[in-house]
A and B are shown apart, each in its own frame.
Chain A
Amino acid sequence: DIQMTQSPSSLSASVGDRVTITCRASQAISNYLAWFQQKPGKAPESLIYAASSLQSGVPSKFSGSGSGTDFTLTISSLQPEDFATYYCQQSYSIPYTFGQGTKLENK
């Protein structure tokens, strides 16, 4: 299985900050990488697919980059609704696997 490792596991930031979350794959996955946002008690919502493509309806303050083994999710100008847990996920090979999550908290 491909292991997905996110860093940091938790992150404290303030409204208006720009934050970056990193996801590393245990082997090269080309651009088969997605990012999700999950709020407490809710289902994950897709933000980014194919490493850098913005899902329809997702604000442009979210951006993704990377290829191979190293990927980043950047959120510019944090708003209160952005405090949530973020997951990366690879779809390069079966089984699809997720990172352990990064909890973004309001400082």
Chain B
Amino acid sequence: QLQLQESGPGLVKPSETLSLTCTVSGGSISSSSYYWGWIRQPPGKGLEWIGSIYYSGSTYYNPSLKSRVTISVDTSKNQFSLKLSSVTAADTAVYYCARHEIGWFDPWGQGTLVTVSS
């Protein structure tokens, strides 16, 4: 059974870079059928897609975040990562990683709360 697990600091200072990693188990991140994505959810609010990556390294991002986002993949570790630069309080959210095919997100990781505060 495929499982995804997010990891990274739970607290980031304003103007710094948020870095998270998603570790995939129970399957290969190099599967040709799937993309791997990041989605976030501010406390008490809705869901926002951040961006996605293919195992080859091909990426696509939400234009609203594109200037600050970098998603990368490490197939040797079965992981993919998110970097979000110049964070502000508005970036405080639960960050989820998920597998997707044609934009159908399933399964999701359990999520990790990242708070931006000094």
Contacts and interface: CB of A to CB of B under 8 A. Distances in A.
Interface string B56-99: 00001011100000000000000000000000000000001000
Interface stretch (B14-22, B23-31, B44-52): B44-52
Contact of A91 (B48, B104, B111): B104
A95 B62 contact: yes
A83 interface: no
Interface in A42-90: 42-46, 49-50, 55, 87, 89-90
A44 B47 contact: yes
Nearest to A48: B104
Contacts of B105: 34, 36, 44, 46, 89
Contacts of B107: 45-46
A32 B103 CA distance: 8
Given A46-B105, A50-B104, A91-B103, A96 B110 contact: no
B102 A32 contact: yes
Interface class of chain A by DSSP? loop
Interface size classification for chain B: 20 to 34
A7 interface: no
A97 B48 CA distance: 7
A91 B102 contact: yes
A46 B96 CA distance: 14
Nearest to B106: A46
Q: Select the residue from A46, A95, A97, A100 with max chain B CB neighbours within 10 A.
A: A95
Q: Which 4 A-B pairs have the closest CB atoms?
A: A91-B103, A46-B106, A43-B108, A49-B104
Interface of B: 46-49, 60, 62-64, 96, 100, 102-111
